[in-house]
Structure formats: C-alpha cells, structure tokens
Structure 1
Amino acid sequence: MSKIKKSSNNNIHDNFFKSLFSVKENLEDLLKGSLPKEVLQGLKTDTLEYDPTEYVDQELAPYFKDISCNVKYGYSNIKISLLYEHKSYPDKNIHLQLLRYILNVWENQAANKQELTPVITMVFYHGNRKWTDAGFVKNVPEELKRFIPLFDYALFDTKDIEDHAIIQHFKRPSVKVAVWFMKRSDNLIGFIQSNPDLARDMFRQIEQIDTNIFQKIALYLYKVSGVEPDKIDEIMETISPKAKDAFSQAADELRQWGYNKGIKQTAINMINKGYSDEQIAEITHIDMKQIHKLRSDNSH
C-alpha cells in the first residue's frame, strides 16, 4: 500500500493527540461525542477500523495532524478523518486545505485500486480565538453551483463544551481527561489550582485509565505546563492525595525511562567509537548480554 509522506511536526500537542486518538476506542468515543447527530444515526461504529495511513502531505503539515478510520454508513463504506488544527486561530483557507486533504485520500484509494469513498473531515480545534468560517467560493449564481466543489466539515471546538460537561459528554475516562487537558493547555496547572473541585471530579477518572495511556496523559501535563515535577506534586496534593500519587508515580517512571534511554544511547556512542564491551560495562553499568545485543543491533 502506498504511503502519503508523513508530517515531521514534533509539537507536544500533535504527539499527544496522535498517541491518544490512534487508540481505536478513544477515537470512537471522541467521534460519538462530536459528530452531528444526523450522521451518527447512520454510522455503524462497531465496524470502525483505524487507518494508519497519514494523508497530510508537506503542504498540509503546517496546518494539520490527521487520524483516519474506515467505517460503515448504512451499507456504504466511508472514511472519517480527524484533523488536529495546529494553529491557535482559524485559517481563512480551511476549505482549500480540506479539499486538498480529501483529494489526497482519493488519490491514495485510486492508486491502490480501491473504490473512492465519501470522506467526512472533522477539525479538532483548541485555540484561543473564536473559530470563524469565511466560507468557500462566495456569491455563486445558482446555475454555476454545479461547477463548484461545495462541501462541509464537522468542527470540534473545545471552547464549545463547558469544563464540567466534559465528564458527561464522553464515556471513556482517558478521553475525558485528555480533552480537558487540551482545552486548558494554555494554563493547565493554573486552571487546576483555581478549580480544585472540578479537578477532583476529573481526577476520579484516573483509576479507570490504562497505565500506558495514563503515562501519555501525565507526560503531556508535565511538558505542556512547564512546571517542575516537585511543584506539580505539591499542587496535586492539595487536590487529591490519589491524584498526587498517580502523577508522581508516572513522573518517576518517565524519569527512569529517560535515564535508561540516555544510558542506552551512551553505550551505542561508545560502541561506535570502538570501546570494548568491558569498558562500556564499567562506565554504563549495563550487563554484558545487553551490550552484546546493542552491538549486534548497531551493526545491521
């Protein structure tokens, strides 16, 4: 299967968005809570299959990160694409960008000898400015409309949903916490401090979140807040001892992961510089078996 060129954007929000909603169950929950009701009525969400292909090309990379899935709508096959909007403000050329994106999907389907399917695009936006839509081609006479590719898109603007309503709006705890964090990402820790009751209600969801997913959520909080982990621990203690313990444990695991990654990279660098296994073991304290594996992997 041919692959569209991937975006190289390593933005904190992009990575969090991608890692969370690439999980089929999280994507399904977000779509159920965000798509128009008339669309959901015909959507057979039990047929949803995650599509790992990225349809964002170099031209679209500054604007979007995408996640797609294939699903049945009645008896028809359709594709739904969730596009995370990079910018903190709406782009007046959103229709041109989405049209290019849809064309990328269709070109990929054609190249793989697949039937062209309807593509529903949904824009995930959590910017500070109010989302405005300038429209596409304006003032088109009725007799010319058939020559214009008129289409719509769904919009999920985090500002349109109240913080306290997020808990009822979605079913999966990981989606509830993640959407809330992204909604308040510009001052997440400050908002938690100012709204302890809301934070307690939200953090009650933590116990139901898979450990791997919670680590991604915790990492997002530490990165996006820019606050020292010890300070975050103090704040969490005032909110909930359980929340403090959960985030502290995640922070320790993330620190250990970073430490181990650094030690591993040091060993690889030493291998490349010609150090012996004994020298590497003495400096890094990595056991011989792992050093032999690193040396073998590095020689391929």
Structure 2
Amino acid sequence: MDKINKPHDKLFKEVMGDIETAKSFIQHYLPPKIVRLIDPESIAIETDSYLEKDLSEYFFDLLFRVKMQQEEAYVYLLFKHKSRVDKHVNLQLLGYMTSIWKKSVPRPLPVILPVVFYQGREKWEAPQWFSNRFSNYDRMGEDLKDYIPDYKYELFEISSLRDEEVKGAKRLRIYLDVLRLRALRGKAAIREVMLRVAVTISELPRTEANERFFQVCTIYLFETMGGEYFQQMSELMETVSEERSEKMQTIADMLRQEGMEKGMEKGLEMGIIKGREEGREEGLEKGMEKGREELLWKLISKKFPKASKKYFEKLKTLTIEKLDALGLELIDMKNEEELKKYLM
C-alpha cells in the first residue's frame, strides 16, 4: 500500500471541501437516479474523519450530509491515492459506515452513499458489491444469503475520464484535469490538458478562496509533475496570464528553498554534515536566514527592477518567520509602494 502525499490531501480537501464544487461533483458524477433524490441546497460538510489512524496515511475522506427524499442521508467520499487496486476497500468502507451509524443511535440509521476516488493507471476490477467478497456467493442458497449484509459503493475512476467527460464547475474541472495528468501518455496529450488547465485557471475570479486554491494547486503540480513538465506548465500559463505564471514561479522558488533547508536539516540529523557541536544550530539558522534573504531579494528585484538596495539591508534584519510571510505577501503586491510599507 502506497502512502499518500500531503499535496494530494490538501488539494482534495481544498477542492471538495468547497460546497459549490462538491455540489457540482455530486450533480455531474453520481448516478442520475441518485442525483434526482438529493436536495442540492441541503448539502453540508461534516467535519469528522472516520479513517482509522493507521489507514489515514493511505486514504483521506470527506463526509457530506444531504437530504434525500426529505430524509437525512450522507454522501461519503473516500480518496484512494494511486497505487494498486484494493480489493479490501469495501470491507474498510463498511467499518467507516458503521462508525457513522453509531453516532446516529438511537435514531433511525441514515442512508450512506459511499464513493471511492481512484487515481491509479491500473484498471479497477475489485467487486463493488460487498456480497461478492464471499466465496461461492452466486451458488449460495437463499437461506444462507439471508445472513450476509450487502451494499455497493460508487467508483469514480479518474484516470479513465476522457476529455469530454471532464465537466462541472471551473475548480472541479481544473482539479480533475490536474489529476489526469499523471495518467496521460504522450507529450501532445499532456500539453493539451495542461493548456486547458492554464486557460481555466486564468478564468477564475480573483477571490481569496480562488487564490488559495491556485496556490495549493501550484504546490501539487510542483510536487508531482517533475521539473520539465512544471516549467512547461508555467510557460503555457504565461501565454494566458503573465501574472499567474509569475506567481507559479515565485511559489516554486520558495518550495525549492524550503526543500534545500529540509535537506540541510536531514543531513545534520543523519550525521552527513559534520562539524562542531557548539554553535552548529545557530549556524544552521543563520544559513537558512541568509538563503531566504538572497532568494527574496532576487524575487523582489525581478518583480520591481528599480527597487532600492536598502530593501536588501532591511531583509537582513528580519526573522525567518517574517521572511516567509513577506514571500507570500510579495506574490500579490502590485507596486513598490506596497513593498515599502512592509519593509520601511
């Protein structure tokens, strides 16, 4: 079983944790016979996760409360990141559903519609009906079948989506195309989808929520695409929005700097970098600060070519926390006056 990465978790929850995007997914990708029963205005997010602690490294989940035929019900989204098909998922789902039902006692139990998100390239061939997990179920007598619980989960197989099947709200379409990139083969097909992602991102209104989504999406792309494809994505973005492309590069530079610092810390922990014990921690911290100062000055100079060098001297007086905060603020700064207010 492959562990999930934090970028996958963050992107999934950033997208599907938005009510309007969740509504769009439910309306476009659940079976029409079920969609007709759901009151879209009733959809609300439950904050609890029902994953066992040892499985939360491999899955993540979201639970939505809905009204279905005027009765309380739930839509349970379980995301299984990449790897192989998991034939045990329906047994795990049954455990999560039981946990949800326990909270309803002594009231009547609500209907739960479980949905499995699957991102892997391998075709999902595990049985969706729980009863198919039992040996010889098809030849089993009806009297014995009375003792076997049964249910079905819905499967959302992302890698099998064709271009024309990607639909819904803009953020949902961006999310699905970004996930599909990992399964696409051929540079032309990848480029076409990347361009579509860039165009759709450029069409998003400039709201706080959309800016946060863009940052999380960029981090995901940086962490999962590889340097060559990320650079190509940034170049395609530049053809539709120079501002978005610059922000992508700024976020990427900050992530590279953070990666270098983590590598230094790891090296010290493993004993790869040897030195005097006395003052080593202080030296590392100063080195990190200097690296951030130089990176930020490069970013400032690129964004505001006429910026005074006195700003660089001011950067040297800031703590790591303040340097990080400035890096994020810099992304949205429109002119040098805003920078001056921050540093002077």
TM-score computed with the length of structure 1 as normaliser? 0.73
Give SS of 2:30's match. coil
Q: What one-letter code is carried by the residue in structure 1 that aligns with 2:141? A: P
Quick one: distance in 2 between partners of 1:122 and 1:73? 16
Structure 1 match to 2:204: 208
Distance 1:94 1:56, change over 3 A: same
Contact 2:65 2:74 survives alignment (8 Å)? yes
Distance 1:54 1:251, change over 3 A: farther
- Kindly provide the CA deviation profile for residues 262-282 of structure 1, in whole angstroms up to 9, marking residues without a partner as x: 99xxxxx98xx9xxxxxxxx9
Answer yes or no: is 1:125 the counterpart of 2:125.
no
Q: CA offset at residue 256 of structure 1?
A: 5.3
Give SS of 1:204's match. helix
Structure 2 match to 1:137: 134
Contact 2:238 2:245 survives alignment (8 Å)? no
Q: CA offset at residue 160 of structure 1?
A: 3.2
Q: CA offset at residue 143 of structure 1?
A: 1.9
- The worse-fitting range, judged by mean Cα deviation, of 115-124 and 54-63 is 54-63
Contact 1:123 1:156 survives alignment (8 Å)? yes
Q: State how 1:145-164 maps to structure 2 within 5 Å.
A: 145-164=145-164
Q: What one-letter code is carried by the residue in structure 2 that aligns with 1:211? A: E
Give SS of 2:101's match. helix
After superposition, the CA RMSD in angstroms is: 3.6
Answer yes or no: is 1:183 the counterpart of 2:180.
yes
Q: CA offset at residue 165 of structure 1?
A: 3.1
Structure 1 match to 2:72: 77
Q: State how 1:235-274 maps to structure 2 within 5 Å.
A: 236-237=234-235, 241-243=239-241, 245-253=243-251, 255=253
Contact 1:237 1:243 survives alignment (8 Å)? no
Decide which structure has the larger Cα Rg and report it.
Answer: 2
Q: Which one scores higher on RCO, CA 8 angstroms, separation ≥ 6? A: 1
Q: State how 1:105-124 maps to structure 2 within 5 Å.
A: 105-110=100-105, 115-124=108-117
Distance 1:284 1:51, change over 3 A: farther
List gaps (5 residues or longer) in structure 1.
1-7, 264-268, 274-281, 291-300
List gaps (5 residues or longer) in structure 2.
262-280, 286-313, 323-344
Contact 2:117 2:155 survives alignment (8 Å)? yes
Answer yes or no: is 1:104 the counterpart of 2:99.
yes
Q: What one-letter code is carried by the residue in structure 1 that aligns with 2:81? A: H
Contact 1:12 1:223 survives alignment (8 Å)? yes
Q: What one-letter code is carried by the residue in structure 2 that aligns with 1:174? A: R
Distance 1:194 1:239, change over 3 A: farther
Q: Give the fraction of aligned pairs with identical amino acids, expressed as a percent.
A: 21
Quick one: distance in 2 between partners of 1:101 and 1:50? 16
Contact 2:184 2:190 survives alignment (8 Å)? no
- Kindly provide the CA deviation profile for residues 245-298 of structure 1, in whole angstroms up to 9, marking residues without a partner as x: 4133134156458979x99xxxxx98xx9xxxxxxxx996238xx8xxxxxxxx
Q: What one-letter code is carried by the residue in structure 2 that aligns with 1:252? A: T
Quick one: distance in 1 between partners of 2:143 and 2:37? 31
Q: CA offset at residue 215 of structure 1?
A: 1.5
Q: What one-letter code is carried by the residue in structure 2 that aligns with 1:58? A: K
